[in-house]
Amino acid sequence: MRVPSQLTRREFARAAAMSSLGAGLAIAGISSGWARKPKNTPEKSRVDGPLSLKTHAAAAGLLAGCAVVPELFDLTPASNDPYTHTVAQQASILVAENAMKWSSLRPSPTTYEFSNVDRLFGFAQLNGQQIRGHNLCWHEQLPAWFASTATKENAHSLLTQHIFNVAGRYAGRVHSWDVVNEAIHVPDGRSDGLRKSPWLGLIGPEYVEIAFATAAQADSKARLTYNDYDIELDTPEQSAKRGQVLMLIRRLHARGIPIHAVGIQSHLQANGPRAGAGLQSFIRDVATLGLEVYITELDINTHALPGSPEVQDSAVADVYRQYLGLLLPEPNVRAVLTWGISDAHTWLNQSKQLWTVRPDGARQRPLPFDENYTPTAAFFAMRDAFDAGRHLVKSSAI
Ligand code: XIL
């Protein structure tokens, strides 16, 4: 297996010092002044540079990062925007929260809208950050035109053309691609565990292999990843789903389909059961196939946890501590990304669902920075977990 290309501090400094990034950045509307700022970072967020998550993670051979919204980056040279600053300082790897999904990229069956993704790549290049692609094939966030346009006749070509055009455009610049997202759904009752998704209905179960094989052709460098949720715990439901995910990965591997990693989303609950032996042995099973593991969408939901912000913060930090303490010692776990960086922008405060809204009306605090960009207890729990992994430095190939 390839070793993840960790940026050394020298490489990071070189990237940050670059003063001109050429036409690509100009097209993306990105000025090169960002590397010189900001100057007036509030004292309370002085967890930058050597004190940052990415620096502590790098010392343990890990990438640390978060999901981002490229439209929120303030790229004007004099800006002191806390979102932009915090993402630049804390993350060595970024993933688009929505910008690389079909619904964002495909305004019509024949057109592509890449401007936000180009902006993301420009920002990452300026800050020496890697990028995860999310995602190429999913049953959700398909464009409105999809249902009326996709047929059994054209679905194969819709999928493969999309993958060629999207993964091909950014080929060589992507750390890992979530090629297929959330394909397993045990309640759908199939023996292969596959979800009854539009892709399954239109193409059949081979859509998974087609997606991976096409992604490998479009970008031979990216680590091709299968990403899923609710596979973390030892509850009967999650154990069953995790088992089906493992079977799927084994099937793909046995057939020589290019797959290099598994993404464990890790949307966890503050007061639910904790992850344990089942997930640990899953990660080890995946390692025997030579696959890496990424924690891809970590956040801690407190909708069902009564109490003050302090009570929430301490419960959330406890879950970060326990979860990363369990997973980071596994040598094939190579990246930890939270689903957002600050409580100012988290899907858990955006969607008004039973599983997100707190009865007391308070906002959730699921991430390492609060809505004022002050590091939360979760930040320090994460950083401590990275520090605890330092003696295990993941420098060797698995
Ligand atoms: C979520 C985004 O955070 C929301 O903004 C959007 O409205 C819905 O999707 N699993 C995934 C992510 O793979 O793409 C989802 O992101 C969260 C669950």
What's the 343 CA to ligand 1 centre distance in angstroms?
15
Query: Domain map of the chain by residue range?
Result: 6-392
Residue-level pLDDT at 351:
85
Contact 180, 133 (CB under 8 A): no
Residues 280 and 322 sit within 8 Å (Cβ to Cβ): no
pLDDT at 118: 98
Nearest-CA residue for ligand 1 atom 16 is 97
Q: Which atom of ligand 1 is nearest to the CA of 227?
A: 13
Q: Is the pLDDT of residue 142 over 80?
A: yes
Nearest atom of ligand 1 to the alpha carbon of 178: 13
Nearest protein CA to atom 9 of ligand 1, as residue = 98
Q: Tens of pLDDT along 210-262?
A: 999 999 999 999 999 999 999 999 999 999 999 999 999 999 999 999 999 99
**Which ranges in the chain belong to alpha helices (H)?**
9-17, 22-27, 53-59, 82-90, 102-105, 115-126, 146-149, 155-169, 198-203, 207-218, 236-254, 277-288, 309-327, 347-350, 377-388
CA within 13 Å, CB half, 194 = 20
302-314 confidence digits (pLDDT tens): 999 999 999 999 9
Is 209 annotated in the active site? no
- pLDDT category at 390 given cuts 50, 70, 90 is confident
Report the separation in Å between the CA atom of 108 and the middle of ligand 1, taken as the mean of its atom positions.
Answer: 21
pLDDT in tens, 74-123: 999 888 999 999 999 999 999 999 999 999 999 999 999 999 999 999 99
Q: Is 113 a catalytic residue?
A: no
- Indicate the top mutation candidate among 72, 339, 348 to test ligand 1's pocket, ranked by most ligand atoms within 8 A of CB: 339
Q: How far is CA 59 from CA 45, 52, 248, 395, in A?
A: 21, 11, 33, 10
State the catalytic residue, choosing from 97, 232, 292, 297: 297
**Secondary structure letter of residue 184 according to DSSP:** B
Mutate to test the pocket of ligand 1, among 66, 97, 178, 230 (most ligand atoms within 8 A of CB): 97
> Taking residues 286-299, what's their average pLDDT?
98
**Residue-averaged pLDDT of the chain:** 89
Q: How far, in whole angstroms, is CA 194 from its chain's centroid?
A: 22
**Topology adopted by domain 6-392:** TIM Barrel (3.20.20)
**Cα dihedral 251/255/260/263 (nearest 10):** -20
Q: What pLDDT is recorded for position 395?
A: 57
Percent of the chain, pLDDT > 70?
87
Q: What is the pLDDT of residue 5?
A: 36
Find the mean pLDDT for residues 270-275: 96
| Angle formed at CA 345 by CA 167 and CA 340, multiple of 5 degrees | 50
pLDDT tens per residue, range 326-357? 999 999 999 999 999 999 999 999 988 989 99
Among residues 97, 182, 232, 330, the one annotated as catalytic is 182
Q: Name the band, by pLDDT with cuts 50, 70 and 90, for residue 18.
A: very low
Give the integer Cα–Cα distance in Å for 305 and 307. Answer: 7
Q: Residue 260: what pLDDT?
A: 98
43 pLDDT more than 50: no
Residues at CB less than 6 angstroms from ligand 1: 97-98, 181, 229, 265, 297, 347
User: Which residue, among 231, 310, 215, has the nearest Cα to 270 in the 3D structure?
Assistant: 310
For residue 307, give the DSSP letter.
S
Please say if the pLDDT value at position 41 is more than 50: no
Positive or negative: CA dihedral 189, 193, 197, 200: negative
| 97 CA → ligand 1 middle, Å | 6
Compute the distance from residue 67 Cα to the ligand 1 centre, in Å.
10
| Ligand 1 atom index nearest CA of 182 | 13
Distance 297 CA to ligand 1 centre (A): 9
pLDDT value at residue 44: 53
**Model confidence at 11: pLDDT above 50:** no
Q: How far is the CA of 340 from the centre of ligand 1 (A)?
A: 11
**pLDDT band per the 50, 70, 90 thresholds, residue 396:** low
How many whole angstroms separate alpha carbon 172 and alpha carbon 293? 20
Residue 308's CB is within 10 A of a number of other CB atoms, namely: 10
Does the pLDDT at position 8 exceed 80? Answer: no
Q: Which residue's CA lies nearest to atom 3 of ligand 1?
A: 347
pLDDT at site 309? 95
